C-alpha cells in the first residue's frame, strides 16, 4: 500500500472511530438488517416509479439461432478489433486546416491586416 493511501485509511478510521464507539453503547444494530431494509425500500421506489404493485414475473426468452450467430460474430469482432484511441500522437491531430476570415465587410475593418 502506498504511504498516501495508508494516511487516507488512517484518517478514515479516525473519523469512524468515535461513531463506532458511540454505537457500541446503543442496542446492537444489525447492519445486515439495515441493508435488507434499505434494499427493500429501493425496490419499492423502483416499483412505484414503474407504477407496479409487485415485481413482474420473469419470462423465458428464446433467442433464435440467427440472433445468436450475429451476437457471437459481433463479440468476436469486438475482441479482435483495434482500440479506437489513436496509437500515435500524430494520429491525434487533424491533418487539414480550414481558415475562415470572420472580419466582415464593415468599413471599419477594411484595410486591416492587408
Distance CA 17, CA 23 (A): 10
Nearer to ligand NAG, 34 or 68 (CB): 68
Kindly state the smallest distance separating residue 60's Cβ from ligand NAG, in Å.
18
74 binds ligand NAG (CB under 6 A): no
- Give the count of residues interacting with ligand NAG (CB under 6 A): 4
Q: Which of 45, 48, 72, 74 binds ligand NAG (CB under 6 A)?
A: 72
Query: Any alpha helices (H) in the chain, and if so which ranges?
Result: 3-24, 31-49, 65-80, 89-92
In angstroms, give the least distance from the CB of 77 to ligand NAG. 13
Cα–chain center distance at 7: 27
| Residue 11 or 68 with smaller CB distance to ligand NAG | 68
Instruction: Show the CA angle centred on residue 93, arms to residues 92 and 94, nearest 5°.
Output: 125
d(CA 37, CA 80): 45
DSSP state of 50: T
The answer to whether residue 69 forms part of the interface with ligand NAG (CB under 6 A) is yes
Q: Which residues bind ligand NAG (CB under 6 A)?
A: 65, 68-69, 72
Amino acid at each position: 500500500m502506498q504511504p498516501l493511501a495508508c494516511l487516507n485509511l488512517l484518517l478514515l478510521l479516525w473519523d469512524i472511530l468515535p461513531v463506532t464507539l458511540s454505537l457500541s453503547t446503543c442496542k446492537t444494530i444489525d447492519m445486515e438488517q439495515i441493508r435488507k431494509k434499505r434494499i427493500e425500500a429501493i425496490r419499492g421506489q423502483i416499483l412505484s416509479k414503474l407504477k407496479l404493485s409487485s415485481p413482474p414475473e420473469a419470462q423465458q426468452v428464446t433467442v433464435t439461432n440467427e440472433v445468436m450467430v450475429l451476437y457471437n460474430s459481433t463479440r468476436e469482432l469486438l475482441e479482435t478489433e483495434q482500440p479506437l484511441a489513436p496509437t500515435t500522437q500524430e494520429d491525434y491531430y487533424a491533418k487539414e486546416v480550414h481558415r475562415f476570415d470572420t472580419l466582415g465587410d464593415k468599413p471599419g475593418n477594411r484595410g486591416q491586416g492587408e
